[in-house]
Amino acid sequence: MYLDESISVFGEWFFIHFIENPGMAFGFEFGGEWGKLFLSLFRIVAIVFIAIYLRGLIKQRAHSGFIIAVAMVLAGAAGNIIDSAFYGLIFSESPRFSPETAVLFPDGGGYAGFLHGKVVDMLYFPIIDGHWPDWVPGLKGQRFQFFRPVFNIADSAITVGMAIILINQKKFFKAAEKSEKEASNDKLETQ
């Protein structure tokens, strides 16, 4: 696909829309080349800590729903960093406003170095597309679109994992407290 190309999957409600995200969520960038490097290194460190935390949860036999949710966040974060780390190495720059596509393994290398690539986003759900009614102050007649962001499966994994944790936090952390109390009681009984 070429940059900004869309393919309708389900009418006007779901498209495969090819964009390259240069930075964080929703296309926010973080201070040029050094910012991109810092963001990539921060993501790697975060992935390591999440993996260590997940390993501890598994050893503690935490609530399986919590383990799955944390694993989803880890998988999504890892997917995005892999994309960022290698996409720029193996593809040429995607020309803007052109039907030309990027070249896989171009002569002379890709458009960016290790950890400086963009992340490919492609899922687009403009479920509601219209204009604000005349009676809405300040927005009268302006275009309104819900859901506007273009995202990828890794972003979905992170979002769904975090939503599961937030929605079920009482159940997850109540189970953790119960496990800690049982472990303490077992320890006291063995002494």
* pLDDT single digits (tens) 72-96: 999 999 998 998 889 889 999 888 7
Domains of the chain: total: 1
**Is position 86 within any domain?**
yes
**Is position 107 within any domain?**
yes
9-50 pLDDT per residue, tens: 988 889 999 988 876 665 566 667 787 888 888 889 999 999
Spot the catalytic one: 4, 83, 121, 186: 121
C-alpha separations of 166 from 13, 46, 91, 129, 169 in Å: 28, 19, 38, 29, 5
Spot the catalytic one: 4, 83, 107, 155: 155
**Is position 1 within any domain?**
no
Q: Is the pTM of this model over 0.95?
A: no
C-alpha separations of 185 from 18, 56, 171, 181 in Å: 55, 20, 21, 6
**Is position 157 within any domain?**
yes
**Is position 117 within any domain?**
yes
Lowest-confidence region among 30-34, 57-61, 119-123: 30-34
Q: Find the domain containing 163 and state its range.
A: 6-190
> Residue 139: helix, strand or coil by DSSP?
coil
Is residue 134 part of the annotated active site? The answer reads no
CA torsion, ordered 24, 29, 34, 37, to nearest 10 deg: 20
Where does the chain show beta strands of DSSP type E?
Answer: 6-10, 14-21, 119-124, 128-131, 143-146, 150-151
pLDDT of amino acid 122: 92
**Is position 72 within any domain?**
yes
Is residue 121 part of the annotated active site? The answer reads yes
Q: For residue 151, list its beta bridge partners.
A: 123
